[in-house]
Amino acid sequence: MAPSALPDADQDWSLDSLNKAYQQGYMAGLTGQPLQLQPYAADVLAAAWEAGWVDGEEQFKLYLQKSA
């Protein structure tokens, strides 16, 4: 079977869904939630969520350093 004939869950996303996934990941990282809570099965949305989580976690750590 040709690769293009395989169903691809990664094609089921839009710019809005990427933005939403990133924002949700950012809030999860910002509130100190673990990376393992990433809820998306599609690789593209999971990557957007994880990118947001990394950015949010970075801000969370900066906040902890400043408040210590």
Q: Angle at the Cα of 56 (from 52 to 61), degrees rounded to 5?
A: 150
CB 50 within 8 A of CB 18: no
The pTM assigned to this predicted structure is 0.81
pLDDT at 10: 58
pLDDT at 9: 56
Query: Taking the domains of the chain in order of start, what are their residue ranges?
Result: 20-67
Q: Give the single-character DSSP code of 39.
A: -
Mean pLDDT in runs of 10 for the chain (68 residues)?
43 91 98 95 96 97 91
